[in-house]
Chains A and B, each alone.
Chain A
Amino acid sequence: MISKNRGYTIAEDIKMTEGVKCSCEAAIIGLYACAGGSNVGQMANKVAVELTKHGKGKIMCTVGVGGQVPGIIKSTEGTDEIIAIDGCPLLCAKKSLELSGFTVDKSIVISELGMKKGGNLDLEESDVIEMMSKVETALGN
């Protein structure tokens, strides 16, 4: 399903084969969302998904970085740019990356873009569209 509002379009489903990106293409921008247990954490993940679907980066497995999973660590080493997308100022995604020795090139914090942190895990499509516009502005896309 495609929805459009306020200049942003929610992308169609991504194909499974696109879960792996070839480095022969443009520079690999790794997107690491906290995907935490709050509305802003879930929004962080949704933002990473949407950016991936729009070709603005590649969603990666943030928890695998914290877990030191070899394939995920090696994939992170293979990125050209690292963007951490956190829900709140606890910055779990950014800190996980830094604790593993990676330099975060850009840090996005959803709560600092106007979304108040709460416990509701369901996202409204209109909120996603509004947040995507803010994130894309913050990233300079």
Chain B
Amino acid sequence: MKIEILGSGCAKCKKTKEIVEQAVAELGIDAEVVKVEDMNAALDYGVMITPAVVVDGDVKVAGKVPTLDKVKEWLS
């Protein structure tokens, strides 16, 4: 599983990455978490507001920091 965190490196983006990594650890799944700061890559997904989380090419959220429970739901 590949999880991309789209963002500029701002506070919300860092928080989003922390939550995603926590969810991966708690679920014990094998996932690659990648931080993507290239905003053209975000546009390629149609993402116009960051932070955003993309799981295996599927945009799950944009412009918000997701909750831990919500991320676990996506990854389960």
Determine whether the beta carbon of B12 is less than 8 Å from that of A75. no
Min CB–CB distance A84 → chain B (angstroms): 16
On chain B, the residues within 8 Å of A17 by CB distance are 39-40
Q: Which residue of B lies closest to A21 (CB)?
A: B49
| CB <8 Å contact, B61 and A74 | yes
Contact across chains for B50 and A58 when beta carbons are under 8 A apart: no
Provide the main secondary structure of the chain B interface. Answer: mixed
Task: Please give, as numbers and ranges, the residues of chain A lying within 8 Å of B45 by CB-CB distance.
Answer: 70-71
Count chain A residues whose beta carbon lies closer than 8 angstroms to a beta carbon of B: 22
Shortest CB–CB separation between residue A70 and chain B, in angstroms? 5
Q: Is the CB of A61 within 8 A of B46?
A: yes
Q: Among B8, B40, B43, B52, point to the contact of A74 (Cβ < 8 A).
A: B52
Q: A70-B58, A78-B63 are in contact. Are A21 and B46 (CB under 8 A)?
A: no
Chain A residue numbers with a CB within 8 Å of B63 are 23, 28, 74-75, 77-79
Residues of A bordering B, CB below 8 Å: 16-17, 19-24, 28, 58, 60-61, 64, 69-72, 74-75, 77-79
Could you show 30 A-B contacts with beta carbons less than 8 Å apart?
Answer: A19-B39, A19-B40, A20-B50, A21-B48, A21-B49, A22-B7, A22-B10, A22-B12, A22-B13, A22-B49, A22-B51, A23-B49, A24-B10, A28-B49, A58-B48, A58-B49, A60-B48, A69-B46, A70-B46, A71-B45, A71-B48, A71-B62, A72-B48, A74-B52, A74-B63, A75-B49, A75-B62, A77-B61, A78-B64, A79-B63
